[in-house]
Amino acid sequence: MKTILIKNGTIVTLGEKNRVLTGCALLIEDGLVKKIAPQKSFRGKYSKVIDASGKLVMPGFINAHMHFYSTFARGLGKAPPSRNFVEILNNLWWRLDKQLTSADSYYSAVIPLINAVRKGTTTLIDHHASPFAITGSLAAVEKAVRETGLRACLAYEVSDRDGKEKAKEGIEENAAFIAAAQARNDNTITGLFGLHASFTISDETLEEAAYRGHKLGAGFHIHTAESQADQIQCESHNKMRVVERLRDFGILGRKSIAAHCVHVNEAEIEILKETGTAVVHNPQSNANNSVGIADITGLTAKGVLVGLGTDAMTVDMMEEVRAALWLQHLKRDPSQGFMEAAQSLLLNNAKIANRCFKGLGELKEGFAADLAIIDYLPPTPLDASNFYGHLIFGISQSTVDTTIAAGRVLMEGKKLKLDIDEAEVSRKSLELAKKLWKKF
C-alpha cells in the first residue's frame, strides 16, 4: 500500500471539533488518513515523506457551486453591455453555451481544474450547460476531472429555453450519468439532477425531471431566486414564489442544492429549513451581476445550511470567503457575518459535499486524504479558537505549496505532478476558443 507521511507542519483538522495540532504528523495510507499522532510515534518506512515545516496542513477546499463551461468567456469582449441579469444571460451566457461542443466541454473543464489544484481546491460541485452538445457532455467533463485527480459532483442544466427536445435530452443526460456514477460508487465522481432555474423550466419538464430524479434517489441542483426576475416570473405565471414551486414539485430536500437564494422571503426560508435543502452562496458572482447580496446571516440564524460556491468567478475558495464576509458587512454591519461566512466554507461545504461523497472536509482517521498544505508562519498566536480569523486575514494571502487528493500528490513544492501537458492543453483550448468566438 502507498503511504505518505506529512511531518513538521501545523495540522488543522477542521470538522465540528476543529483542532490545531503542533508536534504531530499525519499518515496517509491507500488514499485515506490512516493516523494523526505525535511525530515521535512514527518510526516506520514510508513510500513518501513530505516535510511541511513552516506550513499548515488542512483539508482541501470544497467549491459547492461551479460552472466549468464558462472558461471560454474569459476575455470575450463581443457581448453587448448588459443592464440587468436577464440581459447578461441573453447577451453572454446563452449565446456562449449554444456554441459549446463536446471537446469544448472537456477543455473548458480541465483548465479550471488544473487551477483548482494550484489553489488547494480538491472537490467541486459543477453545473454544466451545452444545449447543442448535451449527450455525453457530462462524460467529457468527467474525463477532465479524472485526469486531474480531483473529485466532482456533476449535473446537466435542464432548461426549456432551447425547446422541449433539448429539455428532454438534458433529462436523459442527467439520468444516464447519475445511474453510471451510482454503479461505479467510487467516491470520486457523483451526480445531481441539474436544472437551470424556475423561470426557464415548464411545469411539464419540472414534473418529468422530478420523477426521474426521485426514481434514481438523486438530489437536484438548481439556481434559485438568483435575480428578482426569477420571482417576478414565478409569481406572474405560477401564482407562487420560486421556493414554493420547487417544493410543490419535490425538487427540494436534503440531497438538493438551491444556489444563490438572493431573493427569498421569510416563508421561503422556512421551507428551505423544513426540507433540509442546502443553499449555496456565490458572493462575487452576485456582486458582478448586480443581483444583490444573499442574507446568509439571516439564513443561518433560521437554521438553513449555507455553503459557499464561486459560480465560476474563481476556483480560489480563500478569495471567495473574503468576498462573502465583506458583502455581509455591507449588507448588515461590520459586527455581523464573520462566523457565517467562515463556516460556510470551512464547515458547511463539507456537510453539503458529504451528501454526495463520503469522508470529506476533515482530517480524521478513515477520512479521505484530500489536503492542502499552505505556506504560513503565524505572526500571532494560532489555535482552534482563532483559526477562522487567521484564514481570512492571513492564510488567504499565502500560497498553496502542496495539494493531495485521495492520497495522490497533485502538486508539491508548487509544481504540478499531473499527467497532463498544461502547455498543450492551453494551446488546444486557445484554438477551440478562437473557433467559438468567431461564431459568437
What's the CATH code of the domain at 334? Answer: 3.20.20.140
Given its phi and psi angles, is residue 277 left (phi above 0), alpha (psi -120 to 50 degrees) or beta?
A: beta
The CA distance from 363 to 343, in Å, is 16
Please state the separation of Cα 109 from the chain's center in Å.
13
pLDDT band with cut points at 50, 70 and 90 for residue 45: very high
Asked if residue 425 belongs to a domain, the reply is no
Residues 52 and 183 in one domain: no
Q: Give the strand pairing for 400-405 and 306-308.
A: unpaired
Give the angle subtended at the CA of 272 by the CAs of 271 and 274, to the nearest 5°: 60
Asked if residue 307 belongs to a domain, the reply is yes
| Element housing 305 (H / E) | none
pLDDT band with cut points at 50, 70 and 90 for residue 106: very high
| Stated pTM of the model | 0.98
Per-residue model confidence (pLDDT) at position 44: 86
Asked if residue 430 belongs to a domain, the reply is no
Q: Report yes or no: 156 and 173 within 8 Å, Cβ to Cβ.
A: yes
Residues 68 and 25 in one domain: no
Whether the pLDDT of residue 290 is over 90: the answer is yes
Cell of 69: 463551461
Per-residue model confidence (pLDDT) at position 400: 98
Asked if residue 184 belongs to a domain, the reply is yes
The DSSP code sequence of 356-394 is TSSS-SS--TTSB--EEEEE---SS---TTTHHHHHHHT
Cell of 188: 470520486
Asked if residue 15 belongs to a domain, the reply is yes
Q: Which has more pLDDT, 78 or 268?
A: 268
Per-residue model confidence (pLDDT) at position 149: 98
Q: What is the pLDDT of residues 394-416, one digit of tens each?
A: 999 999 999 999 999 999 999 99
Q: Report yes or no: 305 and 351 within 8 Å, Cβ to Cβ.
A: yes
Residues 151 and 215 in one domain: yes
Residues 204 and 238 in one domain: yes
Per-residue pLDDT, averaged over 296-306, amounts to 98
Residues 90 and 215 in one domain: yes
Residues 72 and 103 in one domain: yes
pLDDT band with cut points at 50, 70 and 90 for residue 355: very high
Per-residue model confidence (pLDDT) at position 336: 97
Q: Residue 396 sits in a domain of what CATH number?
A: 2.30.40.10
Whether the pLDDT of residue 157 is over 80: the answer is yes
Q: What is the pLDDT of residues 26-43, one digit of tens each?
A: 999 999 999 999 999 999
The CA distance from 351 to 361, in Å, is 8
Asked if residue 423 belongs to a domain, the reply is no
Name the domain boundary from 353, 376, 392.
Answer: 353
Name the domain boundary from 322, 353, 384.
Answer: 353
The CA distance from 369 to 123, in Å, is 12
Task: Note the residue count of the chain.
Answer: 440
Task: Establish how many alpha carbons lie within 13 A of residue 389's alpha carbon, considering only the half-sphere containing its beta carbon.
Answer: 9
Please state the separation of Cα 410 from the chain's center in Å.
19
Whether the pLDDT of residue 1 is over 80: the answer is no
Name the domain boundary from 308, 328, 353.
Answer: 353
Residues 135 and 88 in one domain: yes
Per-residue model confidence (pLDDT) at position 227: 98
Instruction: Provide the β-strand partners of residue 36.
Output: 26
Residues 133 and 26 in one domain: no
Provide the residue range defining the domain that includes 302: 61-353
Per-residue pLDDT, averaged over 88-101, amounts to 97
325-330's contacts with Cβ under 8 Å and 24+ in sequence apart are 325/392, 327/283, 327/286, 327/287, 327/293, 328/293, 328/296, 328/297, 330/293
Residues 8 and 128 in one domain: no
Per-residue model confidence (pLDDT) at position 379: 97
Q: What is the pLDDT of residues 48-63, one digit of tens each?
A: 999 999 999 999 999 9
Q: Residue 299: which residues within 8 A CB-CB, separation 6 or more?
A: 261, 269, 272, 279, 306
Per-residue pLDDT, averaged over 96-122, amounts to 98
Handedness of CA 300, 306, 307, 313 (dihedral sign): negative
pLDDT band with cut points at 50, 70 and 90 for residue 116: very high
Give the total number of structural domains in the chain: 2
Cell of 179: 445511474
Q: Report yes or no: 97 and 130 within 8 Å, Cβ to Cβ.
A: yes
Asked if residue 427 belongs to a domain, the reply is no
The CA distance from 145 to 126, in Å, is 11
Residues 207 and 297 in one domain: yes
Per-residue model confidence (pLDDT) at position 140: 98
Residues 325 and 367 in one domain: no
Per-residue model confidence (pLDDT) at position 407: 98
How much of the chain, in percent, has pLDDT values that exceed 70? 100
Asked if residue 440 belongs to a domain, the reply is no
Q: What is the pLDDT of residues 204-223, one digit of tens each?
A: 999 999 999 999 999 999 99
Q: What is the pLDDT of residues 375-398, one digit of tens each?
A: 999 999 999 999 999 999 999 999
Q: Report yes or no: 257 and 221 within 8 Å, Cβ to Cβ.
A: yes
Whether the pLDDT of residue 162 is over 90: the answer is yes
Q: What is the pLDDT of residues 122-144, one digit of tens each?
A: 999 999 999 999 999 999 999 99
3-class secondary structure, 74: coil
Residues 185 and 285 in one domain: yes
Q: Give the strand pairing for 121-126 and 24-29.
A: unpaired
Whether the pLDDT of residue 418 is over 90: the answer is yes
